[in-house]
Amino acid sequence: MISFELAEPKTLNEAIALLDAEDPEVRPISGGTALMLMMKSGVFRPSRLVSLQKVEADYSRIERGSNGSLRIGAMASLSQVEHSDEVRRVAPVIEKTMRHLSNVRVRNVARLGGNLAHGDPHMDLPPVLSSLGAKAIVAGPSGQREILIEALFSGYYETVLKRDELITFVEVPPQAGWSSSYIKCTTRSADDWPALGIACSLRIEGGSIGDVRLMISAATEKLTRLVSTEKVLRGQKVNEATFERAGESAMAEAEVIGDSRGSASYKSELVRVYVRRALRQAGLGETQP
């Protein structure tokens, strides 16, 4: 491994000042579970790494708002998120997702902000957080801005973050009245990267779907919201016929890509089946078979 400078700022502002908007070889590092693998394989050769381990403790906290919202510091480990009572009360789907997100060793080290900033379309958290309507609070030299999680990803391993910006918090709005689910299909163990991930949140009113957020990942180049399929669902009865139509719509809408976990045609069929299952789980409380 080549030599590089390791900076260990003690404040967020110091960390931002050490980044360089023009130099792709200067990167922040939080848990480093993905970045270190990239360095070992020679995919990334940094000139400077800016460690976030010593920044203010506020960025590792998980807090529930008086209105039922949730604020998670970007430096919170995935294990913290998994075992947080606040997370469980506001959005239990996050805790359930964590049980099959990689393995406990990775979850103990990886940080929420790094998980999102990495831009890997196979990650489990981005579709889940997107279906909950969550947003990222981002800080840079010019101040703060908010980005919906669903708008954070611009391409394969690409985000809209600038090189001198850092995710500081993730905010999840109140989930009262919503029911959510996330299911994934893996070709290996249950905690492996998925061939497909589907996350959905439903607001049911009088037996019909009042509103819906439906996300697809892993089978697509980037996290994608299935807008046309959402239109098929809104105002429809919560029943198997509705879910069947949504599965067909999602299969037609999603632009899937093939990879080592399955061909495009295989994943397209997965979309039809797993959208139906995710909707059934969120709408009727049925668990995945």
Rounded CA separation 285/205 (Å): 15
This prediction has a pTM of: 0.94
Calculate the average pLDDT of the chain: 94
The three-class DSSP label of residue 209 is strand
Domain covering 178-284 in this structure, CATH number = 3.30.390.50
From 3.30.465.10, 1.20.1250.20, 3.40.50.300, 1.10.3720.10, which CATH number describes the 57-172 domain? 3.30.465.10
Element (H, E) at 173: none
Distance of CA 81 to the CA centre of its chain: 13
Mean pLDDT of 20-46: 89
At 216, which helix (H) or strand (E)? strand 208-217
Task: Name which of 213, 76, 222 is nearest 153 in CA terms.
Answer: 222
Output the pLDDT for position 289.
Answer: 45
- Contact (Cβ atoms closer than 8 angstroms) between residue 92 and residue 80: no
Q: Put the strands of the sheet holding 208-217 in their side by side order.
A: 178-185, 196-205, 208-217, 224-225
- Domain 5-51 sits in CATH at 3.30.43.10
The token pair that represents 124 in the structure block? 């489990």
Buried b (16+ CB within 10 A) or exposed e, 128-159: bbbbbbbbbbbbbeeeeeebebbebbeeeeeb
> Which SS3 state, helix, strand or coil, does residue 59 take?
helix
Cα–Cα distance between 249 and 246 in angstroms, integer?
Answer: 5
Sequence-ordered list of residues with C-beta below 8 angstroms from that of 238, at least 6 positions apart, any chain: 202, 204, 207, 208, 209, 283, 284
Report whether 62 contacts 73 (CB < 8 A).
yes
- The model's pLDDT over 229-257, given as tens digits with 9 standing for 90+, comes to 999 999 999 999 999 999 999 999 999 99
- Per-residue pLDDT tens digits for 135-169: 999 999 999 999 999 999 999 999 999 999 999 99
Residue spans per domain, the chain: 5-51, 57-172, 178-284
Find the range with the poorest average confidence among 9-18, 36-45, 66-75, 153-162: 36-45
Q: How does pLDDT run across 57-101, given as a tens digit for each residue?
A: 999 999 999 999 999 999 999 999 999 999 999 999 999 999 888
What's the whole-number mean pLDDT along residues 203-218?
A: 97
> What's the CA gap between 133 and 62, in Å, rounded?
17
Q: What is the DSSP string of 87-133?
A: HHHH-HHHHHHHTTSS-HHHHHH-BHHHHHHT--TT-SHHHHHHHTT
Q: Which residues contact 138 (CB under 8 A, 6 or more apart)?
A: 144, 145, 146, 147, 161, 165, 166, 167, 168
